[in-house]
Amino acid sequence: MDQDGEGAVVAGLRQRKKQAAMRHIQHTAFALFEEKGFDNVTVEQVAEAADVSQSSVYRYFGTKEGLVFRDEYDDAVFGMILAELESGATVLGALDKGMGGMIEEHFHHDRDITLARTKLWASHEGIRAAVGLYLTKLSERVVEAVVTGGRYDEMEARFIVAALLNGMLSATLSWQKAGASRPLEEYMDRGLSALARVFRED
């Protein structure tokens, strides 16, 4: 195996180790949140229960609120979306390719904890505010990638990204409020279809 191949293997192992650690910490945190309530749990308690350092919790999740809305799939999913956009892929095509696997993992395999996470951030003002800040930072990276792809200028890219990110957030909330009785994809497809009808009406 050449050096590039060895490097890819090492990077893959490192990524899987990080993903396993994040999953373990997050599951531990949610057990504490369910037992004590979100506001009554500290990062120190999460770290102690998960048998990791506090710095590991902050490195992976940023804040206590991040334990709710961030997870081990973020880097891989957004990295794929950004790469697709920068290469000139359509916006919906990039989102579909990047999020297909994430939706399968989150909303099918990990349905119960994803539903619990969504319920918590939907009902907690501090977590909602943290989600808003996170999406604002994320949107800047996505806008840059859309512009780099050459299909839209910056103003157009900002409008498109804001509409899609907030639409995805709304679809997730609708999925949660309905008790996750239907696949998330149905809510996203309905939202996109409704948006298309808005433009056809004019």
Its pTM stands at 0.79
pLDDT digits (tens, 9 = 90+) for 44-57: 999 999 999 999 99
Taking the alpha carbons at both ends of the chain, their separation in whole angstroms is 59
Q: Does domain 68-201 have CATH number 1.10.357?
A: yes
pLDDT digits (tens, 9 = 90+) for 98-140: 777 677 777 777 788 888 889 999 999 999 999 999 889 889 9
> Where in the chain is CATH 1.10.10.60?
1-62
Any alpha helices (H) in the chain, and if so which ranges? 3-36, 43-50, 54-61, 66-69, 74-86, 91-104, 111-123, 125-149, 154-177, 184-201
Amino acid at the residue 193: S
| Nearest-angstrom CA–CA distance, 172 and 167 | 9
Q: Give the pLDDT score at 19.
A: 85
> Where in the chain is CATH 1.10.357?
68-201
Q: Which residue from 72, 56, 62, 98 is spatially nearest to 20, judged by alpha carbons? A: 72
Please tell me what DSSP assigns to residue 63. S
Query: Out of 35-39, 112-116, 139-143, which region has the weakest mean confidence (pLDDT)?
Result: 112-116
Q: Does domain 1-62 have CATH number 1.10.10.60?
A: yes
pLDDT digits (tens, 9 = 90+) for 54-82: 999 999 999 999 999 888 777 778 888 88
